[in-house]
């Protein structure tokens, strides 16, 4: 999955390029087929999930833990490539040292503020803007 900047097309003309932090507000995702066996297209665009802009408490906690591990990987000098015991068995390849360090230490992490699956915002509201909200914004 890739975040696409619609403004990138016009950036060469206008010279105004949005910051990465603003991308989730008006960007789109390019989604690959992956395991969606019934999809006829190899990839398609979709709106950014609402949790990209408004993360749940559990997602915030997980992102903080990930950031702390990344900082610790840098401080301890995790360089080069190595196998990750937890990932190599599944993927069977080498990883950048910091990525392997993070993967090894993220395994088994459970956020204490996790939500029950039926409360996930993505199940209640799939995108940042609904069709009705977009129509109201457009005055249709």
pLDDT tens for 9-21 read 556 555 666 666 6
What's the mean per-residue pLDDT of the chain?
79
pLDDT band at 63 (very low <50, low <70, confident <90, very high): very high
Judge whether 105 and 69 are in contact, CB under 8 Å: yes
How far apart CA 22 and CA 72 sit, in angstroms, is 27
pLDDT band at 49 (very low <50, low <70, confident <90, very high): confident
CA-closest candidate to residue 71, choices 98, 50, 38, 44: 98
CB count in 10 Å sphere of residue 27: 20
How far apart CA 5 and CA 19 sit, in angstroms, is 10
CB count in 10 Å sphere of residue 84: 20
Give the least confident one: 36-45, 59-68, 105-114, 116-125. 116-125
């Amino acid at each position: 999955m890739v975040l696409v900047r619609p403004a990138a097309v016009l950036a060469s003309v206008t010279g105004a390029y949005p910051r990465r932090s603003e991308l989730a507000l008006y960007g789109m995702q390019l989604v690959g087929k992956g395991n969606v066996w019934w999809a006829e297209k190899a990839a398609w665009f979709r709106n950014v999930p609402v949790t990209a802009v408004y993360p749940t408490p559990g997602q915030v906690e997980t992102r903080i833990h990930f950031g702390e591990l990344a900082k610790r990987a840098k401080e301890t000098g995790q360089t080069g490539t190595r196998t990750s015991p937890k990932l190599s068995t599944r993927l069977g390849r080498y990883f950048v040292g910091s990525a392997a360090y993070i993967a090894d230490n993220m395994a088994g992490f459970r956020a204490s503020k996790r939500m029950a699956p039926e409360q996930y915002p993505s199940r209640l509201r799939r995108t940042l803007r609904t069709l009705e909200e977009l129509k109201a914004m457009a005055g249709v």
